[in-house]
Amino acid sequence: MSRLRIQQRTRIYLGCEGQSEQSYGRLLSRIADDAGLHIHLDADPLCGGDPLAIVKLAVRHINQRKRLRGDFAHRAILLDRDKLGLAPERDRQIALITGENALSVIWQTPCHEGFLLRHFEGQGMARPATSDLALQSLARVWPEYYKGMPAGLLATRIDAAAVRRASAVEAAFAALLDQIGLPQL
């Protein structure tokens, strides 16, 4: 009797500031599956708050998961830029910790809704100044959107083409997609 050998998926860590980012990570995972990529995107909800605290928690989670299942091929974290600059010393620590832990930061300007906005036709250069303005701008192109929307509903408006549009104007996001093989979409 021959043994069937199951190929291990390439593990990618994606730290998520909250539930909205986690749903987005799940959407990326679906898009990768549809593209035939053999990856597992571990979308880890880190429950928002102070960017430095989020990064420290992500590093703890990475190390715990590494001990249990092995290391990740790539590591990234989605962070809202709206809190950056409020505590410059803490911001410097973010750069040190992420550098020491090979953790790429994808800064969402000013927040996740601003990042989502850039997935839509004609919105690539949109940079709302505040989180409230980002949510209002997103509501103009996607009235049904709400925070924490599940991946299945995100998929009704965000597909591989939309991800390509966002990656064209978000360098750190494009780098992550390149690392995991999604630019081939």
Please report whether residue 180 resides in a domain: yes
Is position 166 within any domain? yes
CA neighbor of 181 nearest in space, from 7, 8, 12? 12
For residue 133, tell me if it sits in a domain: yes
Q: Is the pLDDT of residue 110 over 70?
A: yes
**Does residue 4 form part of some domain?**
no
pLDDT score at 116: 98
Instruction: Find the helix or strand (DSSP H, E) in which 166 lies.
Output: helix 160-169
Residue 65's contacts (CB-CB under 8 Å, 6 or more residues apart) are: 13, 42, 72
1 within a domain of the structure (yes/no): no
Instruction: Please indicate, yes or no, if residue 26 is contained in any of the structural domains.
Output: yes
Asked whether the predicted pLDDT for residue 185 surpasses 70, the reply is: no
106 located within any domain:
yes
Choice between 138 and 2, residue whose per-residue pLDDT is larger: 138
d(CA 6, CA 156) in angstroms, rounded, equals 32
88: pLDDT strictly greater than 70:
yes
Q: How confident is the model at residue 70 (pLDDT cuts 50, 70, 90)?
A: very high
Give the domain extent around 137: 10-184
Tell me the pLDDT tens digit for each residue of 37-62.
999 999 999 986 799 999 999 999 99
User: How far apart (Å, rounded) are the C-alpha atoms in residues 21 and 106?
Assistant: 11
* Count of domains observed in the chain: 1
On whether residue 5 sits in a domain, the answer given is no
pLDDT at 18: 93
Q: Give the pLDDT of residue 1.
A: 54
